[in-house]
Amino acid sequence: MSLRAAVLGHPIGHSKSPALHLAAYARLGADIGYSAIDVTEESLPAFMDSVRAEPGWRGLSVTMPLKKAMVSEVDEVRGVARVLGVINTVVFEGAGASLRRVGYNTDVAGIVNALRNAGAADGPSAVILGGGGTAAAAVAALQELGAVSVDLYVRNTARAEEARAAAGGLGMDITVHSLDGAVEAMAGAGVVISTLPPRAADGMAAELEALGGRTDGVLLDVAYDPWPSKIAAAWHAGGGTVVPGLEMLLYQAVEQVRHFTGLAEAGSADVIDVMCDAVGAPRRVS
């Protein structure tokens, strides 16, 4: 029986997840197919019912706009995903009547490892741009890096429920601000994580350049197309370290591959290197 996995989202045609996963499975010798499937929030319940009836499913990667909605479609939520209320990974355990769909969040590991690989310091002063599901994962990641508080900047301060809930569940201090005041705070932060959609921070790039100061911290921009983003270019021009969202995508995919294959060596350097090759990312420095 052939095994299957897929990434779900809407739209989904741009996803680099198939390239990452297929490269890893080939290197590991795992006979798992992987595809991208366009699924909306409205069609998600019917899709999840259909996969329950189909044998051979190993797992699902979950992207926007399904990360919160997926919580209602699984049989169990494990790990930090229980606190965040946001799932980006579904693992199929058992078979037939005993099949269980288990939800995880590997975005947190993706953010942590991307920042650590870029040399982010422990216990950083931290700023997050945006307040949705990825921002919630960013809160958890920053706590793992040793941050004790975070400043969150959003367009509408009433729409930061997911990030607020994550901070509350983790016992982390969070202060929510209007996005209008973000640029000066960013310039002085040790770590900045932008969870804004592509091009949404373009106007902030001009403000950052106008400040004319140094940006000594690390900026992770989860958007990776187009790249470099204007905010990433402005940050780099100020002397800061820039981490593209592709790095986060890579490291969260490593954790998914580990879940879907059950192989500890999914996180080995040679597997990560072939995944980097598949999406044009630089190989890791050993």
Answer for the pair 193, 127: CB distance below 8 angstroms, yes or no. yes
Which residue in the block uniquely carries the two structure tokens 């090759």? Answer: 277
- Selected catalytic residue, list 16, 67, 68, 230: 67
For residue 88, which amino acid is it? N
Note if the bond before 228 is cis, omega within 30 degrees: yes
CA distances for 23 relative to 15, 32, 91, angstroms: 14, 11, 19
**Whole-angstrom Cα distance, residue 217 to residue 38?**
37
Q: 67 catalytic, yes or no? A: yes
Q: Which two tokens stand for residue 26?
A: 């080939």
End-to-end CA gap in the chain: 38
Q: Which residues are catalytic?
A: 67
